[in-house]
Amino acid sequence: MLPLVLEQVSFVAGGKLIVDRVSMEIVEGPRTVILGPNGAGKSVLMRLCHGLLAPTSGTIAWRGAVNGRLRQAMVFQRPVMLRRSAVANIAYGLKLNGVSPRERELRARDVLEAVGLAGIADRPARVLSGGEQQRLALARAWALGPEVLFLDEPTANLDPRASRDIETLIGQIRAGGTKIVMTTHNLGQAKRLGDEILFLNEGRLVERTSVDRFFTQPASAEAEAFIRGELPWN
Amino acid sequence: MCYALDYVLKSITYPMNEILAAVAEAGRMIAQFDAAVVDIVLLSLRVSLTAVLFASLIGLPLGAVIAVGWFPGRRVSIVLLNALMGLPPVVVGLFVYLMLSRAGPLGQFGILFTPAAMIVAQTILIAPIVAALSRQVIEDAWQEYREQLCSLGAGPARSALTLLWDTRFSLVTIVLAGFGRAAAEVGAVIIVGGNIDGVTRVMTTAIALETSKGDLPLALGLGIILITLVLTLNAAAYWVKESAQRRYG
């Protein structure tokens, strides 16, 4: 279904320009990291890509989509768990995607096993820890077998250990052949998990380059300032 | 005016020890499952529970649809529902009376002065309460769930169902609030039911009648049962919600 092509995409909310004429292409292969300071429009850009928001102007198209079916999923900064067991949360996503009841259960248990949550499969999802909930959210998205997985600041609310677990899991999902597109404002994470960087500032796509180039020779003054300003906190 | 005067005269004519005797007699009637009391309580429960069942069947889906949907007139319907929560029972009674009376549009069913008419009236009375309160609860949940459900591919109908299930513990409280309102109202049931002994006499209408007749023990006994019932239900609702939310988060 890739490439995902954005042409002159803008998004206005409440009279404020949040995404400003972004043109870009997300292609198969490299792990794409959308990087930028808070308020740069990263999350909104991702929601536009995923289809949760419609652009105010411009076009977004999946150029490789086969008969309109899009196999894409998204994991949010704050996972939203349904008031039911962990395994039922995964089965719910599968149900919406037309998987038969028997297969739902099997696949849900399998994916829980794969993310290391088999032991808590039958516990109510909303009482799990933040790290477990985020892993469960990833499992729920992964179970759908997406070609593209959008991750919006997946570790922003987690402690270092839980963050590391999530990063490992993202690597696992990627190894299974899923294209990863994620936002972050954390430079260390961008380095660890990214192949290419889309640098966003004040709603504009300032730079698109490989991770190595971005950190050694950023092309824009904004990117340079961002890297300098952030590095001590890394 | 006359009623007020009547009441004042009666309270003057009852000395304290007579009131205490009435309380004791009321206690005896409850303890011994007095046949008259039991019949009235059972009819009350039958009418109000059936009404709350119908009101929930109407109100819960309506609340969910208004919470999740985006259709023209949504705001108006929210304001309308909120206003309907405060419907005066006597006005509902009058309306249903006119509908069901021999000359009314639904007169052919001949259900005026039957428990069925009382169920209709109470359903009309509490369906807006269930709908308005559940709309609020479900809309709050929708704010939280919206993106996640859309992302997973849920349409509006599926989202509404999911939210109904996920807010179930709060909705139980709402349904019980509706039951409390139904069981406690007099105005609607007395007009459409007629307070016929053994047929349409429920706790509230019996209390009103017996008090004005001067039969304090029966009125007091029913009053005690009514309050105990409402208290027990609310305690149960609170407990269900608390323990469920501790368990399910």
What are the tens digits of pLDDT across the range A63-76? 988 776 679 999 99
Q: How confident is the model at residue B9 (pLDDT cuts 50, 70, 90)?
A: low
| CB-based contact A18:A44 (threshold 8 Å) | yes
Q: Which of residues 22-61 of A touch B (CB under 8 A)?
A: 47, 50, 52
Q: Does B162 touch chain A (CB under 8 A)?
A: yes
Contact map slice: B 37-66 vs A, CB within 8 A: none
pLDDT at B6 over 80: no
- State the pairing for strand pair A196-201/A32-35: parallel
Q: Do A80 and B145 touch (CB under 8 A)?
A: yes
Burial status of residue B18 (CB atoms within 10 A of its CB: 0-12, 13-18, 19 or more): exposed
Q: Give the residue-averaged pLDDT of A133-147.
A: 96
Cα Rg of chain B, angstroms: 21
User: CB–CB of B208/B186 below 8 Å?
Assistant: yes
B153 close contact with A: CB closer than 8 A: yes
Largest CA distance in chain B: 72
A78 DSSP assignment: S
Q: Residue A185 pLDDT > 60, yes or no?
A: yes
Q: Does B143 touch chain A (CB under 8 A)?
A: no
Nearest CA in chain B to A149: B151
pLDDT band at B16 (very low <50, low <70, confident <90, very high): confident
**Helix locations, chain B, DSSP H:** 2-13, 16-31, 35-68, 74-84, 89-100, 115-152, 156-166, 168-184, 187-193, 203-213, 216-248
A54 is written with which tokens? 């419609």
Please say if the pLDDT value at position B193 is more than 50.
yes
Neighbours of B88 (CB within 10 A): 12
Q: What is the mean pLDDT of residues B168-177?
A: 92
DSSP code of residue A84: S
CATH class label, B2-248: mainly alpha
Tell whether A82 is within 8 A of chain B (Cβ). yes
Q: Where are the domains of chain A?
A: 4-233
Higher-confidence position of B119 and B236: B119
- Whether B140 has its CB under 8 Å from any CB of chain A: the answer is no
Yes or no, beta carbons of B248 and A80 under 8 Å apart: no
- For A4-233, CATH number out of 3.50.50.60, 3.30.70.1090, 1.10.3260.10, 3.40.50.300 equals 3.40.50.300
Half-sphere exposure of B244 (CA within 13 A, CB side): 16
A97 contacts B153? CB cut-off 8 A: yes
Binning pLDDT at 50, 70 and 90, where does residue B237 land? confident
User: B13 versus A183: which is more confidently predicted?
Assistant: A183
B121 or A228, greater pLDDT: B121
**Of the candidates B66, B42, B62, which has an alpha carbon nearest to the alpha carbon of residue B54?**
B62
pLDDT value of position B245: 85
A127 closest CB neighbour out of B152, B154, B248: B248
Cα B92 from Cα B187, distance rounded (Å): 8
Q: How far apart are CA B192 and CA A100, in angstroms?
A: 51
* Cβ–Cβ contact B168 with A under 8 A: yes
Distance CA B75, CA B83 (A): 12
Residue B39, Cβ density class (10 Å: 0-12 exposed, 13-18 middle, ≥19 buried) = middle
Arithmetic mean of pLDDT, B42-55: 97
Report the pLDDT value the prediction gives residue A232, as an integer from 0 to 100.
41
Question: Which of B18, B17, B1 shows the shortest CA–CA distance to B214?
Answer: B18
Confidence label for A230 from pLDDT (cuts 50, 70 and 90):
low
Rounded Cα gap, residues B173 and B124, in angstroms? 19
Give the nearest chain B residue to A140 (CA atoms): B152
The residue assigned the tokens 């995923």 is: A50
Among B153, B166, B247, whose Cβ lies nearest the Cβ of A82? B166
Q: Grade residue A3 by pLDDT with cuts at 50, 70 and 90.
A: very high
Q: Answer whether A74 touches B (CB < 8 Å).
A: yes
In terms of Cα–Cα distance, which of A186, A231, A225, A180 is closest to A202? A225
Domain residue ranges in chain B: 2-248
ipTM of the predicted structure?
0.92
pLDDT of residue A150: 97
Q: Please give the pLDDT value at position A68.
A: 65
Mutant choice from A80, A128, A153 vs B, greatest count of B C-beta within 10 A: A80
Residues forming beta bridges with residue A148, ordered by sequence position? A72, A179
- B157 interfacial to chain A (CB closer than 8 Å): no
pLDDT at B8 over 80: no
